[in-house]
Structure 1
Amino acid sequence: MFVRLSSVRRYSLVCVVIGGIVAYTLTRWSFAEKPMVHIGEGLTANSSQFTLDGKPFRVLGGSVHYFRVPRAHWEDRLVKMKACGLNTLTTYVPWNLHEPERGRFDFQDHLDLEGYLSLAARLGLRVILRPGPYICAEWDLGGLPSWLLRDHNMKLRTTYPGFTKAVDSYLDQLLKRVVSHQHSKGGPIIAVQVENEYGSYAKDAEYMSFIKEALLSRGITELLLTSDNLDGLKLGGVHGALETINFQKLSPGGKNYLEEIQPQKPKMVMEYWTGWFDLWGGLHHLFPAEDMVAVVTEILKQGMSINLYMFHGGTNFGFLNGASAVGLAAPKAMVTSYGRVGEITI
């Protein structure tokens, strides 16, 4: 009972704070469903503030992963996101589910990404797509399919030919389903992320350029982003993509570094963590609601865009939960429920 009350309180406080600030921005959307309306260019980062359709725009986002939520509940989760005053949905794309066996692709039923994007558009939500190919997300092998490891020489997340060939085949199938849902085509996608937190790995200086070109050559025309924690920012960027930051506690170092490497560009927290993931046998992590509200309020006061990671976590079905080995004698599995950040309970 104590945990549930705490979660409800957290949800209420965040909704009040974000909802109140949204009311004073030009990015507010009516709660009523309405189709996407485009009157100009897509999301741009040519000044200290984003613009969309030629008007100032602040990303007020929340992450809900379609593959962690039964399809029957997609609309319920996204309607509640919008009721909290958010205007943008962010989601990863799990390669290992969409290509469970080499050459066999699945985009049906609960993996119907196009259906998910269309639903977001109908509800008036913009979308930032995070297709990986590596997504982390406390997901089995970070979303990379296990069959890659049959190549005993495999070098994941590099320009090793065995890896790039598999990535190219996957992106051929994925992006042909995505390009028509971009803002330029009348769809909800306003930005696409290049890989994920590569600065924390950074084994191949050519890799990020390869992924960026793989997206562009297959028809991606919207704003490109990267996403890293403060340490990873120094290694994870790629020319032509706006760098964004991930953190839980606001520190001057992150914003100052973004300003240094990207002067007069919009500042965005791609992943604002409101807690941490749980491991089987470990403690349940909770981030006090008051602390979370204080950080979110300061982020917004500083004019930064934000994405709540997660807005709703959902479930790691089957054995798809990831594991952590950082600081441990042996890897420990994540819990089945995706409590990555003590997500807002709805």
Structure 2
Amino acid sequence: MPVKARKNMWPFLVRFECILFLASAFSVITHLSQGLSPRINQSHLIPSYLKNRKSGLKVEGSNFTLGGFPFLIIAGTVHYFRVPKKYWRDRLLKMKAGGFNTLITHVPWNLHEPKIGEFHFTGNLDVMAFITTASEVGLWVILCPGPYIGSDLDLGGLPSWLLKDPKMKLRTTYKGFIKAVNLYFDHLISRLLPLQYNRGGPIIAMQVENEYGSYYLDKKYMPYVKKALEKRKVEVLLMTADSGRVLGKGRIKNVLVTLHMKNIHKGTYKELSSIQGHSPIMMMVYTVNSFDSWGVAHHLPDGHMLLKDVREMLKLRFSLNFYMFHGGTNFGFMGGAQHLNGYYPVVTSYEYGALLRENGDYTPEYTTFQEVFRSVIGTLQQPQYEW
């Protein structure tokens, strides 16, 4: 071979040897990795040392503890299904920056199972990705899986196809309803189990149903829902949420009772104490405002009243949840209606007087409460948790 030809082949031979080396190295790495246990749970990016945490959210006397440390829940509600997925991280980062330590979100059955046996858990309904994002920005999560969630949704988040059964009795132990709930929970809960605190995830509690004390058609129903969750290996702290006048009706044995109201009255406090002693008080739904209805003036939050209420609750060491921290949008026909003294359908915007506007912009109230919560967290000296 001429000298010039040999020189021209050198670059080719060098590249060929590099390719062979890389292929060989990749083969060795692949072979070795088959015998190694992974350090990271790739499904949820959870370090292995977090997978077997035991001491989750607990009730100890009049306080909550998390990981064995005193913990005051400062939560805000954001619904993943009302916010485009590409904005999830932005909204949750703003929640964390606002001084909040916990995200509360509800799971709408009607969106996840729009037709019998047809389940959707991708895209904007990827609740697992939403919870994982909350974990990544440093928020704990309290989940409300229903089956009924309210949340000003059509039929409270129950799928309309349930009504095909002319004998259907919603939110009861009616056989047809229970059968549908069991199938739905089989698909939903199995996806959520790896995200529980004891498995290294951010979920520290779950709410059983939603304000059943106001409905209360079947005394066996709430124990059934509790058992349905526990049967599927839900191991985090369970809660119920009801307004003051029906606290006793919605309660379940060995489940923490929480409140849905704007402020607490002496009568409510007395009733709550009679039900569960001096357990910590959680304002599970502190209603910042109300939804807007068609034909009715836009609701504006009273910042001074909000500040007064929240300072009073924090002074009394209440844990609390802002409903809503960020409302988002009622897409399509998901919005419900109020039908008490007239028919008032919910408008497309679900801004709800929240601390973030529908488009994610800050409100003046956001900055005010950011300063309040930072001062509270600084006073409590809450520990920083690794993720």
- Does residue 193 of structure 2 align to residue 163 of structure 1? no
Distance apart, 1:249 and its partner CA: 3.1
Q: Which residue of 1 aligns with 2:313?
A: 299
Residue identity matched to 2:94: K
2:276 to 254, 257, 262: 262
Paired with 2:154 and 2:355, the residues of 1 have a C-alpha distance of 20
Residue identity matched to 1:182: Q
Worse-superposed segment, 335-344 or 272-281:
335-344
Change (3 A) 1:343 1:112: same
- Does residue 191 of structure 2 align to residue 177 of structure 1? yes
Higher Cα radius of gyration: 2
1:280 to 277, 281, 294: 294
Q: Which residue of 1 aligns with 2:153?
A: 139
- Count residues in correspondence: 311
Distance apart, 1:232 and its partner CA: 2.3
Paired with 2:185 and 2:294, the residues of 1 have a C-alpha distance of 34
2:351 to 336, 339, 342: 339
Paired with 1:253 and 1:307, the residues of 2 have a C-alpha distance of 21
Paired with 1:320 and 1:221, the residues of 2 have a C-alpha distance of 31
Q: Which residue of 2 aligns with 1:4?
A: none
Change (3 A) 1:308 1:174: same
Note the residue ranges of structure 1 that are not aligned, 5 or more in a row. 1-33
Distance apart, 1:256 and its partner CA: 2.8
Distance apart, 1:231 and its partner CA: 1.6
Asked if the contact 1:250/1:295 (under 8 Å) is kept, the reply is: no
Paired with 1:259 and 1:89, the residues of 2 have a C-alpha distance of 26
Change (3 A) 1:340 1:200: farther
Change (3 A) 1:296 1:134: same
Residue identity matched to 1:71: K
Task: List structure 1 runs of 4+ shifted beyond 4 angstroms.
Answer: 34-40
Structure showing greater relative contact order (alpha-carbon pairs closer than 8 Å, 6 or more residues apart): 1
Q: Which residue of 2 aligns with 1:12?
A: none
TM-score, with length taken from structure 1: 0.87
Q: What are the Cα deviations for residues 295-339 of structure 1, in whole angstroms up to 9, with x where unaligned?
A: 0000000011000000000001001110110111xx221111113
Residue identity matched to 1:235: K
Q: Which residue of 1 aligns with 2:81?
A: 67
Paired with 1:44 and 1:92, the residues of 2 have a C-alpha distance of 21
Map 1:186-225 to 2 at 5 A. Answer: 186-225=200-239
* 2:244 match: secondary structure: coil
Paired with 1:35 and 1:250, the residues of 2 have a C-alpha distance of 39
2:107 to 93, 103, 120: 93
Residue identity matched to 1:171: F
Asked if the contact 2:323/2:354 (under 8 Å) is kept, the reply is: no
Asked if the contact 1:314/1:338 (under 8 Å) is kept, the reply is: yes
Paired with 2:84 and 2:269, the residues of 1 have a C-alpha distance of 37
Distance apart, 1:342 and its partner CA: 4.4
Residue identity matched to 1:333: P
1:57 to 71, 91, 94: 71
- Whose helix fraction is larger, Structure 1's or Structure 2's? 2
Paired with 2:344 and 2:122, the residues of 1 have a C-alpha distance of 32
Map 1:104-143 to 2 at 5 A. Answer: 104-143=118-157
Distance apart, 1:35 and its partner CA: 7.5
Residue identity matched to 1:212: K
Note the residue ranges of structure 2 that are not aligned, 5 or more in a row. 1-44, 363-387
Residue identity matched to 1:213: K
Distance apart, 1:255 and its partner CA: 2.7
- Aligned alpha-carbon RMSD (Å): 1.5
Identity %: 48
* 1:50 match: secondary structure: strand
Distance apart, 1:40 and its partner CA: 4.7
Asked if the contact 1:191/1:223 (under 8 Å) is kept, the reply is: yes
Asked if the contact 2:168/2:174 (under 8 Å) is kept, the reply is: yes
2:331 to 297, 307, 317: 317
Asked if the contact 1:255/1:267 (under 8 Å) is kept, the reply is: no
